[in-house]
Structure 1
């Protein structure tokens, strides 16, 4: 069976996108998704996206990390799918319904409302999620936010100096986080600017993470470190994040279609 795909990215956070809205596709399974996501033996991606019809939205977006595990949300992928749809749209995800709108500098995504309760992250036990009394080596007192998926955010003097490739997997798999966690290290540049690096659960170090940018911005705003609209500078480029008075987060940034292609399913099963 030959399957068509589109390769897309948002600030270097890249996706294989399969469109199952008008043709039935088999359930690929985690092993096949891992094979396709492999950068040396497959097509290569951070996330694997499958689009399906949905009666209550323009489209349903199913999201799988490169390790084959399904996750609830991906902000950069939402912008990519918004670009593909080419008009204002609603996207159903495992983390809830989001909306996308073409904007002057890319795609604006209404990411919904952040959740701060320990049980909503989720955490293994009750704790103040604004500054949790826990630490791993040089990383201490993180904030925790769920923006469709769980994030721990550490504010540090220089995010580039943190050995995130070492500490990221330790924190991701800590028993404190029963569903694992995305690990964000951020530096406040000024009231309107943050620098950010992200260790993404099931992926590793990534050039950009839309939900991570949203979670980090909201955590910084909650602590009073920045204004309610900021630029979050990631290795792949900047995202604009605004937390409005109605409690909804709006993320705006670019998305790009890299190329189209097809693969023979038997080659990866």
Structure 2
């Protein structure tokens, strides 16, 4: 669907990171950026951080393809909270009754597994630790941290992790006092990150527990960011400040992240476990582009 007509959707969220989810397995859904912006607008449309679209599989070995759009209409390659909601959506709509699914985004594949009624584990591909893969113009070999001079904020130390989306993660003493919006926007605007970057602010409480806020590209700060939580956990593990199985408290709730890789052996999938919530099903008149 790209012009006028009825759009059926579900409103869902993962720890407050909220989504409009659309089933395009039977009919194509080809929205314009303006239509997506309207749909995500919290005053004029439904309101959401992102729009998720379930497509038929585009290759063998995959159960569904999975498109992600940010609130500004731009595409995204990954969304961990969205993936859990996608799994619940597929089950509720009767699109599959399999307890474990493989889905493909524009950038990666993921495994989705149901643990309980509304609790799911998402197994993401191994993180890419080369700065050039974010992409970044930083000319450096993979390292646990990089010192970056952010205009207006001076030098901050970041871990860089590519997980379908690019992430930069910095440690803070108090996540509530961190300049999330200002520093996040400043880093995103730097030519160092040609495709922008999601910015995570990680406060370590102990080796098994940390707090996190994420300033996402195309959406601003959200209540939770699944891929951002995975990236923050990896960054913390590489710095040696958290264990390889850690609970992350975000503003919308808690996620559990497990990864047994290292800087020299990063090719290990990441497992993220957390809830998904169905809010309501809806139907609206889709505007002309």
* TM-score calculated relative to the size of structure 1: 0.95
User: Does residue 69 of structure 1 match 2:74?
Assistant: yes
> Is 182-191 or 170-179 further displaced after alignment?
170-179
**Unmatched 5+ stretches in structure 2:** 92-98, 262-266
Q: Counterparts of 1:1-269 in structure 2 under 5 Å?
A: 1-25=5-29, 27-54=30-57, 55-56=59-60, 57-86=62-91, 87-104=99-116, 106-127=119-140, 129-136=143-150, 137=153, 140-244=156-260, 247-266=268-287, 269=289
Give the Cα–Cα distance (whole angstroms) in 1 for the partners of residues 147 and 140 of structure 2: 8
Give the Cα–Cα distance (whole angstroms) in 1 for the partners of residues 48 and 156 of structure 2: 31
- 1:139: how far off? 6.6
The total of aligned residue pairs comes to: 267
**CA spacing shift, 1:43–1:176, aligned 2, 3 Å:** same
Where does structure 1 differ by over 4 angstroms across 4 or more consecutive aligned residues?
A: none
Give the Cα–Cα distance (whole angstroms) in 2 for the partners of residues 234 and 138 of structure 1: 26
> Is 122-131 or 56-65 further displaced after alignment?
122-131
Give the Cα–Cα distance (whole angstroms) in 1 for the partners of residues 232 and 172 of structure 2: 12
Whether the aligned pair in 1 keeps the contact of 2:52 and 2:86 (CA below 8 Å) is: no
> Is 162-171 or 37-46 further displaced after alignment?
162-171
Q: After superposition, give the CA deviation of every residue in 1:123-169 in whole Å (9 maximum; x if it has no partner).
A: 11313542112133277110100111100000011111112122211
**CA spacing shift, 1:139–1:162, aligned 2, 3 Å:** farther
- 1:249: how far off? 0.4
Whether the aligned pair in 2 keeps the contact of 1:139 and 1:154 (CA below 8 Å) is: no
- 1:24: how far off? 2.9
Give the Cα–Cα distance (whole angstroms) in 2 for the partners of residues 220 and 162 of structure 1: 17
CA RMSD, Structure 1 to Structure 2 (Å)? 1.5
The residue that corresponds to 2:94 in the other structure is none
- 1:38: how far off? 0.4
Match of 1:82, SS state, is helix
Give the Cα–Cα distance (whole angstroms) in 2 for the partners of residues 225 and 162 of structure 1: 19
Give the Cα–Cα distance (whole angstroms) in 2 for the partners of residues 41 and 167 of structure 1: 29
Give the Cα–Cα distance (whole angstroms) in 2 for the partners of residues 236 and 12 of structure 1: 5
